[in-house]
Amino acid sequence: MTDTTSPMTLSHAEAATPIAPGRTPWKHEAIGFVLGFALLALLPLIFGDTYARHILIMAFIYAIVASNWDLSLGYGGVFNFGHLALFGIGVYAYSLLTKLAAFDPWVALFASGVIATLAAILVTIPILRLKGIYIILVTFGFAQLVMQVIISQSAITGGTQGLVRIPGLYVFDHNMVRDGKSAYFYIALALLVASTLFLRVFVRSRAGASIVALRDNEEYAISRGVSIVRQRMLTLAASAFFTGIAGAFYAAYQRNASIDVFGMSLATIILSMVLLGGTSTIYGAIIASFVLTIFAEWMADFGAWRPMITAVLIIGVMLAYPSGLVGMIKASWGALAGRLKRPA
């Protein structure tokens, strides 16, 4: 999948202009996109057992969360450390809407995306004037605030105990439990396709170019008429919708909700997916989500050593390839292409 899509270059100068020569033509990208996701859609034919499909579904959810984070963190340059709170809001919005308000699961799924978007707009207000590390701290504080409110309102949210028996999704009369998870697999894949399509169209649009311009040269972008207030809100809101939906899907799939989604460990995993993949690519985060999720499963036998090996690998990749896995793939692809060309 990786070599067919060839994500756009990381160079800021090139990324800032929508029609720079170094960019992949949209037709090439569309072909890679369709081929890549068609391959993913064929995976249940190879992996028949429920557990392998479960791993893939989790990888899809992580991929949605990580790639949306790449929009605000990578393209927007907004160090939003409350991204996982938006995911958590999706989880709890879905759980409470279906359990307490008896919403239809699909309506609740969509509503969770909207609620996460509203929350993102709300959190943008205090960070409009802030830069860099201060944004990290406020958004981090926001995430903690949401978690603390959920813990303290235990009568509704279940507090630290969490919620169980959350209604799952349905597809007509299809039996969601006895189909080897194939329905959930294709719903998760469809969500990932929709989210990725949305993100790629967004970053290739004029709005996408303007948020990159704000990141790379704020004064110049503002002087050329880009509104930092509007674009920052747009960035955060755009990154929140599918994140919230992913949270809702996660709750529907797991059938329970717990405050673990606000914890540092999940945030660290997802953040390493974004950075390991290479920021400002969208595809990088998705690839890294697959790599890390499958890698974590593959190392299940190592027990306590697993998080340590993962940590060492993350540090190693970050030190050797600052532009992440995508940079690594590009470097090796470039070397390979150079070697193939030479004899001719």
- Site for another protein, rule CB under 8 A: 73, 79, 125-126, 129-130, 132-134, 136-138, 140-142, 144-145, 148-149, 151-152, 264-265, 268, 271-272, 275, 279, 304-305, 307-308, 310-312, 314-315, 318-319, 322
- Least separation in angstroms between residue 277's CB and another protein is 12
**Pick 2 or 310: Cβ nearer another protein:** 310
* Structure-token match 């469809």, residue found: 190
**Pick 111 or 314: Cβ nearer another protein:** 314
Contact 39, 70 (CB under 8 A): no
**Pick 6 or 268: Cβ nearer another protein:** 268
- Least separation in angstroms between residue 104's CB and another protein is 32
**Pick 44 or 307: Cβ nearer another protein:** 307
CA atoms of 110 and 232, how far apart (whole Å): 23
**Pick 3 or 260: Cβ nearer another protein:** 260
Sign of CA dihedral 13, 213, 124, 251: negative
- Least separation in angstroms between residue 266's CB and another protein is 12
**Pick 27 or 129: Cβ nearer another protein:** 129
Q: Which two tokens stand for residue 81?
A: 């450390």
3-state SS assignment for residue 257: strand
- Least separation in angstroms between residue 288's CB and another protein is 12
Contact 19, 210 (CB under 8 A): no
Query: Which residues, in sequence order, are CB contacts of 207 under 8 Å at separation 6+?
Result: 231, 234
CA 102, 105, 110: angle at the middle one, nearest 5? 115
**Pick 72 or 98: Cβ nearer another protein:** 72
CA atoms of 66 and 73, how far apart (whole Å): 10
- The 8-class DSSP code of residue 279 comes to S
- The 8-class DSSP code of residue 255 comes to S
- Least separation in angstroms between residue 167's CB and another protein is 29
- Least separation in angstroms between residue 299's CB and another protein is 13
For residue 142, CA distances in Å to 137, 147, 151, 154, 206 come to 9, 9, 14, 19, 30
CA atoms of 49 and 296, how far apart (whole Å): 18
- Least separation in angstroms between residue 241's CB and another protein is 23
- Least separation in angstroms between residue 96's CB and another protein is 18
Contact 213, 231 (CB under 8 A): no
**Pick 1 or 228: Cβ nearer another protein:** 228
Q: Which two tokens stand for residue 200?
A: 């790629």
